[in-house]
Amino acid sequence: MTVEFQTVFGSLQDYAKGELEIINDSPKNYAFSNVFDVASRSAAYEKVVVAINLGYVLETLRAEGTSPWFAAAHDEFAIVMDGEVEVELLKLDAPAVPASKKGTVQLDGSPVGRRMGYVKCKRGHQVLLPQGAAYRFKAARPGVILLQTIEGELSKQKWREICYT
Amino acid sequence: MNALDVVASPASNETGYRSFQLGSFSFSRDEYFVRVGWEANGQQLSHKMSADAFLRAVMRDVAWGFFYGWVNFDAMIGTRNLYGKVEFYAGTYNPAYKERGLDHMETFDSRQIMATFKAMLDDWTNEGFDPFAAPDETSKSWLGKKRGHNRGAIERERQACKRMPGLPGDAELRTDENGYPVNRAFADVSQDEPEIHAEPGFENELHAFSLFAYLSRSDVTWNPSVSSVLERSLCCPTTEEYILPIKHGNDRVEWFIQLSDELEWQIEDKNTGAPRAKVIMKAGDVAAMPADIRHQGFSKKRSMLLVWENATPELPQLYESGKLKPYPVEF
């Protein structure tokens, strides 16, 4: 017997937000959002926090056009949730972020370093953004990135706008 | 581990299964059921679970090394991880038993309870039954009298990477060649890998892989496995089908990000089991699991779920003492 399965992924164009069925609780306790919904209402490369755990965050970024250069004093990981995103990486000659500083930092202009190369990602691809590198994203069409990082100066928390209340 | 720490009976003449003793708890199984016995308030008490449900639950508890916090096999029995020691309880988080003093809990050295659980899993899992698989994927040979083993299936452990799978010296990516074919329910998932264009000298530093392809090749269900590590922040995606074989009451907040398809979480109060909410998640949905609930997931189609954990060791105490609230954000 052959069973046909269809795997359903979401996209900016086609997503359905799930539901909260409350029996005896506050909906806010679940901080329930949807990354495609968040990205559909975000500015390009705005870093919107969708999950936080004592300083660690997952952020949703709308990928559209070319981002500024970013760097962090620690590893970060990006998962492309929709679209096609090219990630360009540069090995910095000197650390752009002090070791004690957490989270992503935006670099002015073009940072100085050696080209490490680039990675072309499609939906479901995960890329390492290694400590000591600067990186920027390029997307010809709007896409969605889920970023694993630490809360930093660029992290935006707007729970009331993105979550069921 | 000293094998003498496992207290087991000889194989039963009738069913072929051994019975086990863990502290003052007794464990036995027959053709259909597992029976747990204990004494409280001068009374002999017992609890039964379907053997397949019991084996699926013990499979997770063993593979996860008792995981984080409470691993409830059902509304009556389960373990609580104290990281080095483990509590096993019956009725402790069930008000009908607890209020009448009919519950029982004992604390064991992790190695002792692990050895006993592994021996039980080994003896009670028959040939052809894989307690790590969804019902559609494995046989009904869990029922009936003892026949054979399935050691290959039950000796799989939780996979973990140090930084990210596929990096030199880190966890391997999954391929047909190393025994991870694409699961039937993910046959339509693209197996294309990202294009990596490294400049000379940076071949080992530029790294990417297809997480969705990696997950499509997972050979087990409900088994969060680390796929990226940022200090104590761990992404642990997994593939889910049928019912999470345990009700997980975490000793910290965790988050779920539904990567594909749909999953429903039944949420109960951690201490009493009273229903609190249902969280129905579709692709792209993100939800927190507060630290004062227990949850059990239901997934009709095999789905991809990202479980996100904070592995900081001090967290359980901070939640227990009230220094941290059970939910992650206020807004």
**What is the reported pLDDT for A49?**
98
pLDDT reading at B77 higher than 60: yes
* Tens-place pLDDT, residues B215-257: 999 999 999 999 999 999 999 999 999 999 999 999 999 999 9
Q: What is the pTM of this model?
A: 0.96
CB neighbours of residue B78 within 10 Å = 23
Contacts of B268 in chain A (CB under 8 A): none
pLDDT reading at B1 higher than 50: no
A143 neighbors A64 (Cβ within 8 angstroms): yes
**What is the reported pLDDT for A2?**
56
DSSP strand pairing (A47-53 vs A155-156): parallel
Which structure tokens are listed for A84? 């096609």
B120 neighbors B7 (Cβ within 8 angstroms): no
Give the pLDDT band of residue A1 (cuts 50, 70, 90).
Answer: very low
**What is the reported pLDDT for A156?**
98
B67 neighbors B58 (Cβ within 8 angstroms): no
Which structure tokens are listed for B22? 């863990």
Q: Which of residues 99-128 of A touch B (CB under 8 A)?
A: 114-128
Mean local confidence (pLDDT), B55-77: 96
Mean local confidence (pLDDT), B254-263: 98
Please state, rounded to an integer, the average pLDDT across all residues of chain B: 96
Contact A8 B288 (CB under 8 A): no
What ipTM score was computed for the predicted complex, to two decimals? 0.97
Name the minimum distance, in Å, from the CA of A80 to any CA of chain B: 10
The angle that helices B51-63 and B110-124 make with each other, rounded to 10 degrees, is: 140
Q: Say whether residue A33 is in contact with chain B using an 8 A CB cutoff.
A: yes
**What is the reported pLDDT for B88?**
98
pLDDT reading at B159 higher than 60: yes
CB neighbours of residue B322 within 10 Å = 8
CA triplet B39, B44, B46: central angle to 5 degrees?
A: 90
Contacts of A62 in chain B (CB under 8 A): none
What is the distance, to the nearest Å, from the Cα of residue B320 to the centroid of all Cα atoms in its chain? 23
Give the pLDDT band of residue B156 (cuts 50, 70, 90).
Answer: confident
How far from each other are the two terminal CA atoms of chain A, in whole angstroms?
A: 45
The C-alpha atoms of residue B269 and residue A112 are separated, in whole angstroms, by 54
Rounded percentage of chain B residues whose pLDDT exceeds 70: 98
CB neighbours of residue B64 within 10 Å = 19
Mutate to test the interface with B, among A6, A24, A77 (most CBs of B within 10 A): A77
pLDDT reading at B57 higher than 50: yes
**What is the reported pLDDT for B2?**
55
Minimal Cβ distance to B287: which of A6, A7, A30: A30
A93 neighbors A113 (Cβ within 8 angstroms): yes
Mean local confidence (pLDDT), A27-40: 98
Contact B274 A24 (CB under 8 A): yes
CB neighbours of residue A95 within 10 Å = 12
A123 neighbors A134 (Cβ within 8 angstroms): no
How far from each other are the two terminal CA atoms of chain B, in whole angstroms?
A: 49
Residues in contact with B289: Cβ distance below 8 Å, sequence separation at least 6, in sequence order: A30, B250, B253, B254, B255, B256, B265, B267, B295
User: In sequence order, what DSSP letters do the residues of A89-141 get, joined into one string?
Assistant: EEEESS-SS-TT--S-EEEPSPPPEEEEEEEEE-TTEEEEE-TTEEEEEEEEE
Name the minimum distance, in Å, from the CA of A85 to any CA of chain B: 10
Nearest CA among A20, A8, A62 for reference residue B299: A8
Name the minimum distance, in Å, from the CA of A77 to any CA of chain B: 7
Contact A125 B186 (CB under 8 A): no
Give the lowest-confidence range in A145-154, B24-33, B152-161, B261-270.
B152-161
Contacts of B167 in chain A (CB under 8 A): 128
Which structure tokens are listed for B53? 């449900």
Nearest CA among B156, B37, B29 for reference residue B88: B37
Rg over alpha carbons for chain A, rounded to the nearest Å, is 17
* Tens-place pLDDT, residues B285-312: 999 999 999 999 999 999 999 999 999 9
Residue corresponding to tokens 């086990």: B20
What is the distance, to the nearest Å, from the Cα of residue B106 to the centroid of all Cα atoms in its chain? 21
Q: Which residues pair with A106 in a beta bridge?
A: A70
Mutate to test the interface with B, among A29, A57, A60, A114 (most CBs of B within 10 A): A29
The C-alpha atoms of residue B18 and residue B10 are separated, in whole angstroms, by 6
Contacts of B189 in chain A (CB under 8 A): 7, 124
Cβ-Cβ pairs closer than 8 A, A with B, add up to 234
Minimal Cβ distance to A159: which of B196, B257, B331: B331
pLDDT reading at B4 higher than 70: no
DSSP strand pairing (B70-72 vs A19-22): unpaired
Name the minimum distance, in Å, from the CA of B95 to any CA of chain A: 17
